[in-house]
Amino acid sequence: MKASALAIARHLALVLVATILLLPVYWLIMSAFRPADDIFRYAGEFGLATLLPRRLTLENFHQIFAGTFPRALFNSLFVCTATVTLGVLVNSMAGFAFAVFDFPFRRALFIIVLLSFMMPFESIVIPLYTLVRTLHWTDTYAALILPEVAGGLIIFLFRQFFAGIPREIYEAARVDGASWWQIYWQMTLPLSGPTIATASLMMFIHQWDAFFWPLVATSSADLAVVQVAIARNMTLEQANWGALFASASTAVIVAAVPFFILQRSYVRVVAVQADK
Amino acid sequence: MHARRWIPYAFLAPAFIGLVIFRFTPICLALSGSFFGQSIRGASIFVGLKNYAELIGDPSFWSTVSTTLIFNLIINPFQVVCALALAMLVRRPTKLVDVFRAAFLLPMTVSIALTSILWSILLDPTLGPVNGFLRFAGLPPQPFFRSAGEALPTLILVATWKGAGYWMVFLLAGLLAIPKELDESASIDGANAWQRFFGVTLPLMRRPLAFVLVADTAANFLLFAPVYIVTNGGPNDATHLLMFEAYQSAFAFLNQGRSLAISTIILVIILAIALVELRLFRSDDGSAA
């Protein structure tokens, strides 16, 4: 009897929390499909019409895709794809070295990796701008991509996974005459699907989320990523709510697609790492 | 494992070149740049500790520091408690639990910039649906971000909306690592849910909780986007956090020396937090290095 009261309370809490977390996102996306005049018409007085659209239209999306938004979307996707591709390669190589070899300074170098993973990227944004300006890299894709490639967290993830592969496999391959590069590229990487997926998701979300660095590193509209473009539009043309809702919804949906495909493996890999 | 001497370093080189150029060089630049100022002609001149002395003598800097400290003293414990509550809710597998786990992670896909924009609209005093709902429920409408008294608490709630699910994953991992038998045997001994939580679960969660608290603190110390997008530090400097001050010094007042001095202070704080985190982490994982 008492146990079932507890179960009911838990389910009520689950529904309440899920509502608080989901409803704002639902309202954002649903409103993007409303005629611009309707977006706030039903917001001030709460009722069924606040949550269920009376009229539906794609007008807001037509409008943003005719403007500069596709360029921002391309910039974001290009920067994210490049970061993830380079990041998987570079960080998995480093993780491989830490997991497989014994070499001088291994411990010291690994502590540097852990420290870099515990200092969030945002902490160095302003001095990084000083560096990038000295290199004349402001307003380039390189400035958006390269600083985000090497990351302690991703090196650590790969290192943890690779360390679980029995070393005898490598010894056998060495006896057969395989080079270390061949072992890494043809044996180890193909085994690490879930870790690559989780690392890619983490790098994608982090780069997609980035706001502070793209804001200071690029000033030209041609290089604005989605986050910066939307924030600038919000202050510049505040009256155009339809465009704002449509572009914000598109940004949420694009990030949610890889997330929900990979979400289960993300939870599993993070859980296993934290458990070690 | 044995390999020719240079091979491990060749595998490490690309990542370490990246870390040295883009992480450690900026740290050195912040420190060295904080000792320089600009002459009237715009040339860079060595000023020693002048930038720091000016910060210490500047009451607006201290008000920024105290706002940042108050913000962190409230938001970090609050987020950890929320994340733990979420993790407890989806701990036991039921039919629906996978759906709820995914639902709790959804705000992770809403970037911090979009979270700021979305909530500034939702909480708008005249247009926003939240005040519409309050009126509907017979409650007085609130100014939220628009009043000096409510802006900081609102910022804390909005940042928690975005962050709680992210930290939940780490705590859920800790909860799932607790052997079920411990809970069951306590239950047989007659402990109720409350006693089991405080007697069994919480003591075993000390490490994951400490880790999340420290990592969360580092993240919240650097919060920038909502301040820049929504409040612009206001109203009345109520949300003027340290990172925003560093940004303004560099890009609004073009005072690079001051901005890099603040960056150095932020880096020292973050480094101290990271060292605490490293200790927790390494005692957790003896095989880490």
- 217-236 in B: which are within 8 Å (CB) of A? 218-219, 222, 224-225, 228-229
Q: How far apart are CA A113 and CA A94, in angstroms?
A: 10
- 41-80 in A: which are within 8 Å (CB) of B? 43-47, 50
**Biggest alpha carbon–alpha carbon distance for chain A:** 75
Question: What is the model's pTM?
Answer: 0.87
**Biggest alpha carbon–alpha carbon distance for chain B:** 79
First to last CA, chain A: 38
- pLDDT average, residue stretch A127-155: 92
Q: What is the pLDDT of residue A38?
A: 77
The CATH number of the domain where B205 resides is what? 1.10.3720.10
Q: Is residue B229 part of a domain?
A: yes
Q: What is the pLDDT of residue A265?
A: 73
Contact B170 A270 (CB under 8 A): yes
Q: Which residues of A156-183 are buried (b: 16+ CB within 10 A; e: fewer)?
A: bbbbbbbeebeeeebeebeeeebebeeb
Contact B104 A167 (CB under 8 A): no
Q: How far apart are CA B168 and CA B90, in angstroms?
A: 10
Q: What is the pLDDT of residue A276?
A: 46
- pLDDT average, residue stretch A196-211: 90
B226 near A105, Cβ under 8 Å? no
Count of beta carbons in the 10 Å neighbourhood of residue B159: 23
Q: What is the pLDDT of residue B90?
A: 86
Contact B14 A112 (CB under 8 A): no
Q: If you write DSSP's letter for every residue of A31-49 in order, what string do you get?
A: HHTS-GGGTTTTTSS-SHH
Q: Which two tokens stand for residue B192?
A: 């109720």
What's the CA angle centered on A162, arms A157 and A165, to 5 degrees?
145
Q: Is residue B221 part of a domain?
A: yes
Closest by CA to A111, choosing from A160, A149, A147, A152, is A152
Contact B96 A14 (CB under 8 A): yes
Give chain A's mean pLDDT: 87
Q: Give strand pairing partners of B44.
A: B38
Residue-number span of the structural domain to which B103 is assigned? 58-284
Closest by CA to B245, choosing from B273, B230, B217, B265, is B265
Q: Which two tokens stand for residue B212?
A: 């999340």
Q: Is residue B4 part of a domain?
A: no
Contact A248 B15 (CB under 8 A): no
Q: Considering only residues A186 and A39, tell me which one the structure prediction assigns the higher pLDDT.
A: A186
User: Number of C-alpha atoms within 13 angstroms, CB side, residue B222?
Assistant: 27
Q: Give strand pairing partners of A274.
A: none
Hunting for tokens 């002609």 — which residue is that?
Answer: B41
- pLDDT average, residue stretch A219-245: 83
Q: Which residues of chain B are within 8 Å of residue A138 when distances are taken between CB atoms?
A: none
The alpha-carbon gap from A139 to the nearest alpha carbon of chain B, in Å, equals: 16
Residue of A40, A46, A107 lying closest to B289 (CB–CB) = A107
pLDDT band at A224 (very low <50, low <70, confident <90, very high): very high
- pLDDT average, residue stretch A217-245: 84
3-state secondary structure chain B: CCCCCCHHHHHHHHHHHHHHHHHHHHHHHHHHHCCEEECCCCCEEECCCHHHHHHHCCHHHHHHHHHHHHHHHHHHHHHHHHHHHHHHHCCCCCCCHHHHHHHHHHHHHCCHHHHHHHHHHHCCCCCCHHHHHHHHCCCCCCCHHHCCCCHHHHHHHHHHHHHHHHHHHHHHHHHHCCCHHHHHHHHHCCCCHHHHHHHHHHHHCHHHHHHHHHHHHHHHHCCCHHHHHHHCCCCCCCCCCHHHHHHHHHHCCCCHHHHHHHHHHHHHHHHHHHHHHHHHHHHHCCCCC
Q: Which residues of chain B are within 8 Å of residue A131 when distances are taken between CB atoms?
A: 21-22, 25-26, 29
Nearest CA in chain A to B16: A150
The alpha-carbon gap from A168 to the nearest alpha carbon of chain B, in Å, equals: 10
Q: Is residue B161 part of a domain?
A: yes
Q: What is the pLDDT of residue B36?
A: 87
Q: How many separate domains does chain B show?
A: 1
Q: Is residue B130 part of a domain?
A: yes
Q: Does B27 touch chain A (CB under 8 A)?
A: yes
A203 near A87, Cβ under 8 Å? yes
The alpha-carbon gap from B109 to the nearest alpha carbon of chain A, in Å, equals: 5
Q: Is residue B270 part of a domain?
A: yes
* Domain chopping of chain A, boundaries: 2-57, 62-275
* A216: CB partners within 8 A, 6+ apart: A125, A126, A129, B247, B250, B251
Nearest CA in chain B to A93: B11
Q: Which two tokens stand for residue A206?
A: 């982090």
Over residues A43-88, the pLDDT tens digits come to 777 777 778 888 888 888 988 888 889 999 999 999 999 999 999 9
Q: Considering only residues B283 and A168, tell me which one the structure prediction assigns the higher pLDDT.
A: A168
Q: Considering only residues B1 and A28, tell me which one the structure prediction assigns the higher pLDDT.
A: A28
Q: How far apart are CA A208 and CA B219, in angstroms?
A: 17
The answer, yes or no, to whether residue A236 has pLDDT greater than 70, is no
Cα–chain center distance at A166 = 31
Q: Which residues of chain A are within 8 Å of residue B272 when distances are taken between CB atoms?
A: none
B59 near B70, Cβ under 8 Å? no
Interface probe for A, chosen from B9, B12, B25, B101 (most Cβ of A below 10 Å), is B12
Q: What is the pLDDT of residue B284?
A: 53
Q: Which residues of chain B are within 8 Å of residue A246 when distances are taken between CB atoms?
A: none
Q: Does B34 touch chain A (CB under 8 A)?
A: no
Q: What is the pLDDT of residue B288?
A: 39
A194-208, A234-248, B99-113: least confidently modelled range: A234-248
Count of beta carbons in the 10 Å neighbourhood of residue A9: 10
Q: Does A137 touch chain B (CB under 8 A)?
A: no
Q: How far apart are CA B6 and CA B109, in angstroms?
A: 41
Q: Which residues of chain B are within 8 Å of residue A53 when distances are taken between CB atoms?
A: none
Residue of B100, B222, B278 lying closest to A115 (CB–CB) = B278
Interface probe for A, chosen from B25, B92, B121 (most Cβ of A below 10 Å), is B121
Choose the CATH number for A62-275 among 3.40.190.10, 3.40.50.2000, 1.10.3720.10, 1.10.1740.110: 1.10.3720.10
Q: What is the pLDDT of residue B32?
A: 87
Q: Is residue B245 part of a domain?
A: yes
Q: Does B53 touch chain A (CB under 8 A)?
A: no
Q: Does A113 touch chain B (CB under 8 A)?
A: yes
Contact A266 B169 (CB under 8 A): yes
Q: Does B105 touch chain A (CB under 8 A)?
A: yes
Q: Does A32 touch chain B (CB under 8 A)?
A: no
pLDDT in tens, chain B (289 residues): 566 788 899 999 999 999 999 999 999 999 888 898 877 777 788 888 888 988 888 899 999 999 999 999 999 999 999 999 999 888 877 777 878 888 888 888 899 999 999 999 899 888 888 888 888 888 888 889 888 889 999 999 999 999 998 899 888 888 888 888 887 888 788 778 788 888 888 888 888 888 888 888 888 989 999 999 989 887 988 999 999 999 998 888 888 888 899 999 999 988 888 888 778 766 654 443 3
Q: Which residues of chain A are within 8 Å of residue B136 when distances are taken between CB atoms?
A: 45-47
CA distances from A73 to A30, A65, A182, B276 (A): 20, 10, 37, 39
